Amino acid sequence: MQEARANPLRSLLGLKLSLSGFANPSQEESAKKNVPQVFELLPNAIGGLKVKDRRAVVAAGAVIELCVKLVNDPAVGADSPTIDPENLKQCINHFSSLLKQVQFQGAESYRLDSVDDQDSSTDARAIARALKALFKLEDHAAACRQEVTKSGLKVAVSCVKTDSGLTPGAKTALLAMFVALLEEPKSVQDLIDNQGISVLLPYCGEPSPWGVSKEFQSLCMELLETCIKNGQGIENKAEVEAAIEKAKNRRPHHSYILSTDLLIPYHVES
């Protein structure tokens, strides 16, 4: 644990290596059994990270994705390992704190230079992917959704604003995380209560001023439709419905299916 705190990048890259590239099934089973120990180390490794520690942040996100994949794979080992929920909570809280730094740096970049901040965007994508993966973690998905809603949803929504200073790719990763969050119907109201509708609404108008694709616009439209269908207390409901209809008329001719896996791949340096 001391090494994880003293040299998080080295520790995280080592953990990532131990969770991938298995030579045989027994190694994969062993890695799955060790997932609780990995989550025990992660809070120490993530806790001291800053936005500038881009490689470490990306590696931390990749480690969590690999852990979830192993735990959820019934073909690997006979039983699922027992993960301490407190370690998951700490990881989520640390990622939420990092996302606040991302939001501040991106907004400053946009305010000063009217450009998107690439480094902050890389961090945001990694964090969004990690949180989305935790929403799928067997036996812990509901608790992870609750913790993200409590500690990170508000800032995550702010990161999707038109002037957030994050790239469309980073915002797409965050939208995909919202889609995974809303797979639990109770989470719809949480997105609404955290100003999700007002942030998503501009993208359902004309997408070109914001530099986003029509696919990105479709994600926003689908999220807004879910809010209209399952949410309450939407004061501008008529405006939202009109924006959704307008977006539908601008949809690409090919069929587009909303997917929680709609993410732009990123490369983890080693």
- Domain residues of the chain, as ranges? 2-181, 187-258
Q: What is the 3-state secondary structure (H, E, C) of 161-199?
A: CCCCCCCHHHHHHHHHHHHHHCCCCCHHHHHHHCCHHHH
Confidence of residue 251 (pLDDT cuts 50, 70, 90): low
Mean pLDDT of the 202-214 span: 78
Q: What is the dihedral of CA 113, 59, 69, 152, to 10 degrees?
A: -50
| Cα distance between residue 212 and residue 157, in whole Å | 16
Q: Pick from 219, 120, 130: which is nearest to 176 by CA?
A: 219
Q: How far apart are CA 191 and CA 230, in angstroms?
A: 11
pLDDT of residue 59: 97
Predicted pLDDT at 2: 53
> Over the stretch 132-177, which tens digit does the pLDDT of each residue have?
999 999 999 999 999 999 999 999 999 999 999 999 999 999 999 9
The segment with the largest mean pLDDT, out of 69-78, 85-94, 239-248, is 85-94
Tell me what pLDDT residue 4 has: 65
Write down the pLDDT at residue 253. 42
21: pLDDT confidence band, cut at 50, 70 and 90?
Answer: confident
Residue 262: the pLDDT is 43
pLDDT, position 19: 94
C-alpha dihedral, 123 to 129 to 130 to 134, nearest 10°: 160
